[in-house]
Amino acid sequence: MLTIERVAEMQAKAESYRKEGKRIGLVPTMGSLHEGHVSLIQAARARSDVVIVTIFVNPTQFGPGEDYERYPRDAVRDQGVAEQAGADVLFMPQVGEIYPSGFATFVEVEDVSSVLEGRFRPNHFRGVTTIVAKLFAITKPHVAVFGQKDAQQAFLIRKMAEELNFDVSIIVAPIVREADGLALSSRNVYLNANERTRATSLHRSLRYAESLVMSGERSAGKVCAGMSRILSEARPSQIDYIAALSPESFSEIETFEPPSALIAIAVRFGSTRLIDNIVIPISEKREAS
Amino acid sequence: MLTIERVAEMQAKAESYRKEGKRIGLVPTMGSLHEGHVSLIQAARARSDVVIVTIFVNPTQFGPGEDYERYPRDAVRDQGVAEQAGADVLFMPQVGEIYPSGFATFVEVEDVSSVLEGRFRPNHFRGVTTIVAKLFAITKPHVAVFGQKDAQQAFLIRKMAEELNFDVSIIVAPIVREADGLALSSRNVYLNANERTRATSLHRSLRYAESLVMSGERSAGKVCAGMSRILSEARPSQIDYIAALSPESFSEIETFEPPSALIAIAVRFGSTRLIDNIVIPISEKREAS
């Protein structure tokens, strides 16, 4: 596995892969790689001749008071995980290489960037879409893989890539979970043992919602109220949102309608903020109201 | 010359040129091609194997009440001019092809987008940097050529291309002028005969500034005051700005200092808004204060 730190070198390498007719797969990460990332790298591996994994803790997507400084970093361990998972190139630039002094260019998807996560994390998605646009230009991928755990991020990256005409296919890979259902996240290490146990309530609430909708419930309000009870029993420090959404538009829905709905939640335990979501297929047949 | 209207077709064509090892030159225009555009196409021709000229009157760079509707359009004549000047491909998309329903992604360079032209044309440069980023992704150029007449636009496009890591060289070609000094512009056709005569004051004021600075004057205030007198004698309906700037940062300067300065002006005659500028080399030796 090749490790590259410079933009110019990465870009020249990507261009040479393209000239050789090789298909490039990209997996952008912030490091602290876990099995979720491994699944993304494997998904890229299955669709590409060359897999580029990027590790960059992107300062522009962290707000004031968020965990940019303490975000877990372990370059040596990450290199081993990435190589083992099938990466050919690891691109690990320094911050000044990506954001030189006087940097002022941003890519923003309006409207959907400011709801849900965007409401609690102003400018977060502007930072995400900017760094991803930059990484597309630097690594010239044919296909790029993102995780469904960050559902709103995946939605916005897909929209950005389409609307700026990036010639890249966006793949969204399923959430990888611990045995007890907790979605894998680099931020799970912030949880103490007690919080870690209570954090399983996120997945339980989503499974509850799924079973309710699958059995015919069509009222988003009723489903979200039930989820709120389950989450509240786990004594979170805060429930940021419980939202039923259209996967096509990311707008909130009042009624579950075919073909599918997305339920997304953000909950805090102590100072640790966790997100999770589920896509629920909705059948045409209404069995209850 | 090949004429293409679809994004997917243009992008596939650009990709095939790249695979063949051909160097692509891009000249983005809003059509209504004149000798200024011809010089841009020739500059691209000299640096590329394939020259792509785009013609698209970009709605997102026009403000409410501006001339989007009446902007001169003549596709048939433009095709002849582009081919004659050396274009290999003419990309002429419809508006809906570039901005599909629900479009919400914008590329913005902060700060410099909101001064000078940006002060008088809010959101103008956001529209410019967005369409140029899209055209870069669609036509995959190695080199792209813009005109110095739109100096602030050229500055912002270069900054955007660098900061989003587009793998493209930006060339800025000199202003082309009429025999009496008026900078060529598609908007010159809006001028009636009397306004057309008075519009030569723009170039005269810039030449006056140049001679003053070359003879040792170092006060931007004094030079701009002299220019204001010359422009006022031509009875403009409004002088939007007369600005002495650093070409490196586009920030206003009070004193002319080596190695060069940019003087940019925007003046209205009737309802027609004209811009012009000059780059003045500044020698180390101060001959006067």
Q: Which chain B residues are closer than 8 Å to A159 by Cβ?
A: 104-105
- Contacts of B192 by beta carbon, 8 Å cutoff, 6+ apart: B270
Whole-number mean pLDDT of chain B?
Answer: 97
* Mean pLDDT across B224-238: 98
Assess if residue A107 is contained within a domain. yes
Interface of A with B in 3-62 (CB under 8 A): 7, 11, 15, 18-19, 21
Which residue range forms the structural domain that includes residue B112? 2-173
Residue that finishes a domain, picked among A123, A147, A173:
A173
Look at chain A and report how many structural domains it folds into: 2
Find where tokens 């003053």 sit.
B212
Name the residue in chain B with its Cα closest to that of A20. Answer: B19
The pLDDT of residue A284 is 84
Q: Give per-residue pLDDT as tens, B166-210.
A: 999 999 999 999 999 999 999 999 999 999 999 999 999 999 999
Tokens of B42: 């020739």
Best of A105, A134, A156 to substitute, by most chain B Cβ atoms within 10 angstroms, is: A105
Q: Give per-residue pLDDT as tens, B64-76.
A: 999 999 999 999 9
Assess if residue A222 is contained within a domain. yes
Kindly list the distances between the CA atom of residue B88 and the CA atoms of B17, B50, B143, B172, in Å, as whole numbers in the listed order: 12, 6, 15, 20
Minimal C-alpha gap between B280 and chain A (Å): 25
**Same domain for A259 and A169:** no
Q: Is the dihedral of CA A51, A57, A60, A66 positive or negative?
A: positive
Q: Give per-residue pLDDT as tens, A119-151.
A: 999 999 999 999 999 999 999 999 999 999 999
Whole-number mean pLDDT of chain A?
Answer: 97
Q: Name the nearest CA neighbour of A132 among A111, A149, A115, A153.
A: A153
Residue that finishes a domain, picked among B145, B173, B201:
B173
| Whether the predicted pLDDT of B288 surpasses 60 | no
**Same domain for A95 and A38:** yes
Find where tokens 């010089």 sit.
B39
Residue that finishes a domain, picked among A173, A196, A217:
A173
In this structure, the number of other CB atoms found within 10 A of the CB of residue B283 comes to: 11
**SS3 at position B171:** strand
**Same domain for B245 and B151:** no
Kindly list the distances between the CA atom of residue A114 and the CA atoms of A61, A173, A215, in Å, as whole numbers in the listed order: 13, 24, 33
Q: Is the dihedral of CA B12, B17, B21, B22 positive or negative?
A: negative
Kindly list the distances between the CA atom of residue A246 and the CA atoms of B152, B153, B229, in Å, as whole numbers in the listed order: 41, 39, 61
Name the residue in chain B with its Cα closest to that of A168. Answer: B137
Cβ contact (<8 Å) for B106 and A107?
Answer: yes
Contact predicate A135/A4, CB 8 Å: no
How many residues does the structure list for chain A?
289
Q: Give per-residue pLDDT as tens, B83-138.
A: 999 999 999 999 999 999 999 999 999 999 999 999 999 999 999 999 999 999 99
Sheet of B272-281, strands arranged across: B238-245, B260-269, B272-281
Contact predicate B32/B73, CB 8 Å: yes
Assess if residue A289 is contained within a domain. no
Assess if residue A178 is contained within a domain. no
Q: Name the nearest CA neighbour of A84 among A131, A120, A33.
A: A33
**Same domain for A191 and A168:** no
Name the residue in chain B with its Cα closest to that of A99. Answer: B163
Q: Give per-residue pLDDT as tens, A105-118.
A: 999 999 999 999 99
The pLDDT of residue B289 is 47
Assess if residue A85 is contained within a domain. yes
Q: Tell me phi and psi for residue A130, to 5 degrees.
A: -65, -50
The pLDDT of residue A286 is 53
Beta-strand ranges (E) seen in A201-258 are: 238-245
The answer to whether A103 contacts chain B (CB < 8 Å) is yes
Minimal C-alpha gap between B256 and chain A (Å): 23
The answer to whether A101 contacts chain B (CB < 8 Å) is no
Q: Name the nearest CA neighbour of A276 among A114, A118, A146, A148.
A: A148
d(CA B185, CA B30): 11
* ipTM, two decimals: 0.95
